[in-house]
Amino acid sequence: MNMKILFLGMDSITVAIFLLILVFSVGIVWRVEKELDLSYKFFVVSALFLTVAEILSFYANQTLNVVLWDKGLRVSGAIFLLVSVMLMRDLVRKLDGEKGFTKK
Protein backbone atom coordinates (compact mmCIF):
# COMPACT_ATOMS: atom_id res chain seq x y z
CA MET A 1 0.00 0.00 0.00
CA ASN A 2 2.78 2.46 0.85
CA MET A 3 4.57 1.74 -2.43
CA LYS A 4 1.44 2.68 -4.39
CA ILE A 5 1.29 6.01 -2.57
CA LEU A 6 4.99 6.57 -3.21
CA PHE A 7 4.61 5.79 -6.92
CA LEU A 8 1.56 8.06 -7.16
CA GLY A 9 3.54 10.88 -5.52
CA MET A 10 6.49 10.37 -7.86
CA ASP A 11 4.19 10.33 -10.90
CA SER A 12 2.46 13.49 -9.69
CA ILE A 13 5.78 15.28 -9.28
CA THR A 14 6.84 14.17 -12.76
CA VAL A 15 3.62 15.50 -14.29
CA ALA A 16 4.04 18.80 -12.42
CA ILE A 17 7.62 19.15 -13.68
CA PHE A 18 6.54 18.43 -17.27
CA LEU A 19 3.79 21.04 -16.97
CA LEU A 20 6.34 23.60 -15.74
CA ILE A 21 8.62 22.73 -18.67
CA LEU A 22 5.68 23.21 -21.02
CA VAL A 23 4.72 26.60 -19.54
CA PHE A 24 8.29 27.92 -19.56
CA SER A 25 8.91 26.63 -23.11
CA VAL A 26 5.77 28.30 -24.46
CA GLY A 27 6.93 31.53 -22.78
CA ILE A 28 10.27 31.25 -24.59
CA VAL A 29 8.63 30.58 -27.97
CA TRP A 30 6.57 33.76 -27.62
CA ARG A 31 9.68 35.86 -26.99
CA VAL A 32 12.22 34.56 -29.50
CA GLU A 33 12.28 34.50 -33.25
CA LYS A 34 13.75 32.84 -36.31
CA GLU A 35 15.87 29.71 -35.81
CA LEU A 36 15.62 29.63 -32.03
CA ASP A 37 11.86 29.86 -32.37
CA LEU A 38 11.76 26.79 -34.61
CA SER A 39 13.93 24.80 -32.22
CA TYR A 40 11.76 25.68 -29.27
CA LYS A 41 8.55 24.92 -31.18
CA PHE A 42 9.81 21.35 -31.57
CA PHE A 43 10.76 21.37 -27.89
CA VAL A 44 7.25 22.51 -26.89
CA VAL A 45 5.65 19.77 -28.99
CA SER A 46 7.99 17.25 -27.38
CA ALA A 47 7.15 18.50 -23.88
CA LEU A 48 3.43 18.37 -24.71
CA PHE A 49 3.65 14.77 -25.92
CA LEU A 50 5.69 13.69 -22.91
CA THR A 51 3.30 15.44 -20.52
CA VAL A 52 0.26 13.76 -22.05
CA ALA A 53 2.09 10.40 -22.02
CA GLU A 54 2.90 10.87 -18.34
CA ILE A 55 -0.72 11.72 -17.54
CA LEU A 56 -1.88 8.66 -19.49
CA SER A 57 0.48 6.49 -17.47
CA PHE A 58 -1.90 6.95 -14.52
CA TYR A 59 -4.41 4.88 -16.51
CA ALA A 60 -1.92 2.43 -18.04
CA ASN A 61 -3.02 -0.49 -15.89
CA GLN A 62 -6.61 -0.27 -17.05
CA THR A 63 -6.48 -0.91 -20.79
CA LEU A 64 -4.04 -1.95 -23.47
CA ASN A 65 -5.24 0.90 -25.69
CA VAL A 66 -3.98 3.48 -23.18
CA VAL A 67 -0.60 1.76 -23.01
CA LEU A 68 -0.33 1.94 -26.80
CA TRP A 69 -1.10 5.68 -26.77
CA ASP A 70 1.33 6.21 -23.89
CA LYS A 71 4.18 4.49 -25.71
CA GLY A 72 3.36 6.23 -29.00
CA LEU A 73 3.38 9.65 -27.35
CA ARG A 74 6.69 8.89 -25.63
CA VAL A 75 8.31 7.90 -28.93
CA SER A 76 6.89 11.00 -30.65
CA GLY A 77 8.09 13.18 -27.79
CA ALA A 78 11.57 11.69 -28.04
CA ILE A 79 11.68 12.32 -31.80
CA PHE A 80 10.58 15.96 -31.43
CA LEU A 81 13.10 16.45 -28.61
CA LEU A 82 15.87 15.08 -30.83
CA VAL A 83 14.89 17.43 -33.67
CA SER A 84 14.82 20.35 -31.22
CA VAL A 85 18.28 19.55 -29.89
CA MET A 86 19.68 19.11 -33.41
CA LEU A 87 18.29 22.49 -34.49
CA MET A 88 19.69 24.14 -31.37
CA ARG A 89 23.09 22.52 -31.97
CA ASP A 90 23.16 23.84 -35.54
CA LEU A 91 22.23 27.32 -34.31
CA VAL A 92 24.98 27.31 -31.69
CA ARG A 93 27.54 26.06 -34.20
CA LYS A 94 26.47 28.79 -36.60
CA LEU A 95 26.79 31.47 -33.92
CA ASP A 96 30.16 30.06 -32.90
CA GLY A 97 31.49 30.46 -36.43
CA GLU A 98 31.82 26.76 -37.18
CA LYS A 99 29.17 26.58 -39.84
CA GLY A 100 28.97 29.20 -42.59
CA PHE A 101 28.72 32.17 -40.25
CA THR A 102 31.18 35.04 -40.35
CA LYS A 103 31.62 37.20 -37.29
CA LYS A 104 31.49 40.95 -37.76
pLDDT per residue rounded down to tens, the chain (104 residues):
687 787 778 778 888 888 888 888 777 776 666 667 788 888 888 888 888 888 877 766 656 567 777 778 888 888 888 888 888 888 878 877 875 655 54
In contact, 73 and 56? CB cutoff 8 Å: yes
Q: Which long-range contacts (CB under 8 A, 24 or more apart) does 31-38 make?
A: 35/87, 35/90, 35/91, 35/94, 36/88, 36/91, 38/87
The Cα 65–Cα 30 span in angstroms is 35
Structural domain spans, the chain: 2-95
Query: In whole angstroms, what separates CA 60 from the centre of its chain?
Result: 20
